[in-house]
Amino acid sequence: MAAEKIFPMTQAGKEKLEQELEHLKTVKRKEVVERIKIARSFGDLSENSEYDSAKEEQAFVEGRITTLENMIRNAKIIEEDEMSSDSVSLGRSVTFVELPKGEEETYTIVGSAEADPFEGKISNDSPIARSLMGKKVGDEVSVQTPGGEMSVRIVSIH
């Protein structure tokens, strides 16, 4: 049997996943079951779009529960002492500027399980993070993105 994937994450990231899992199990699951009951009362299930929709949501919720349980079970917490203090590493925030005259951008590099670009958290598997890992303040780095290549200079790591 193949080894299960390890999900590197911060303690805060793991706690967020645990909260989502708890919400799905205790609240969302019950809501979906209630929607199915109500939809069944509408009669003929073969032409009941409300029932179909509720069953699809149930499948999504159960799939997400399974995914979260797997991620939590296989979580590897990144400890503060494992993080490099002078180079870009998992769990660190990095500020860089796109060259020649871009604005500063700051991202925290996290495991894929807790990535959320809208909150400034990018996956260590992303092209930007992979290009920046191990680099130091002042380094100029070429980054391959879906939109093409860009050059950045690392301004700070914290």
**What would the pLDDT profile of 74-115 be if each residue is shown by its tens digit?**
998 887 665 657 889 888 899 999 988 888 999 999 988 888
Share the mean pLDDT of the chain. Answer: 88
Domains of the chain: 7-77 (1.10.287.180), 87-157 (3.10.50.30)
Residue 71: the pLDDT is: 92
Half-sphere exposure (Cβ direction) of 108: Cα atoms closer than 13 Å: 17
Compute the average pLDDT of residues 111-128: 89
Distance CA 35, CA 28 (A): 11
Between 18-22, 47-51, 65-69, 123-127, the lowest mean confidence (pLDDT) is in: 47-51
pLDDT at 128 over 60: yes
Tell me the two tokens of residue 43.
């009669």
CA-wise closest residue to 88 among 145, 138, 14, 146: 138
Question: How many C-beta atoms surround the C-beta of residue 100 within 10 A?
Answer: 7
Residue 108: the pLDDT is: 92
Residue 70: the pLDDT is: 93
Residue 128's identity, in one-letter code, is I
Compute the average pLDDT of residues 108-126: 90
Compute the average pLDDT of residues 10-34: 93
Compute the average pLDDT of residues 63-82: 87
Where is 156: in which H helix or E strand? strand 148-157
